Amino acid sequence: MVAAVVFDMDGVIIDSEQVWDEVREELVTDWGGRYSAAAQRAMMGMSSPEWSRYMHDELGLSQEPEEINAEVVRRMLERYHGELPLLDGAVDAVRALAASYPLAVASSSNRPLIDAVLETAGIAECFVATVSSEEVPRGKPSPDVYLEAARRLGCAPSRCAAVEDSANGIRAASAAGMRLVVFPNRHFPPDEEAFALADAVIGSLFDLTAAVSTIAGSRR
């Protein structure tokens, strides 16, 4: 039985994976590094300490990871304040599910970005807890951010449904022992092995409430 719902944010509430890619590529170019086609997929799901270290070590930036992290967050906030890329149906789905379940966010985004997105979208009050992977030891695909979200909700992970879009996020929620609704990222779709972990797959966030209700009454 499902007693709580945990949302990823990037790719589930906002259409932002390509924004992260653009911002990081621009920064690497501006600061004299070398971006690669594989870099975005490599960094998807990483916590901010992990991806800023990756940009330093693998993409050739001489600045310290802390400086890289701060500049990426600054540029991301600038983009969000210009236009928040909300996904169709996301706000309605959050509000509908909040009427029936306690909700949490388990995101790879930095804390300032999580807070800015939820406040700007007008849904911050819908969430009992929000967790950034910078607040736990390891980013996705490790389960840490989902386990911490369940802890803050006061709910066993096995009684939570996670909503995810990416391969690393799917693996993280599955490793935490949660039920899984997958809304595939259209820019960076999950691989078949990740899809196989899903309890439900939806093509629109307008279908999310029904998908959660279906798995809420089913057993694995």
User: Helix, strand or coil for residue 192?
Assistant: helix
Is residue 88 among the annotated active site residues? Answer: no
Q: Residue 70 contacts by C-beta under 8 Å, 6 or more apart in sequence?
A: none
Contact in structure between 211 and 200 (CB atoms under 8 Å): yes
State whether the Cα torsion 99-107-207-124 is positive or negative: positive
CB atoms < 10 A from the CB of 30, how many?
A: 11
Q: Which of these is catalytic: 8, 10, 21, 199?
A: 8
CA atoms within 13 A on the CB side of 36: 10
List the catalytic residues.
Answer: 8
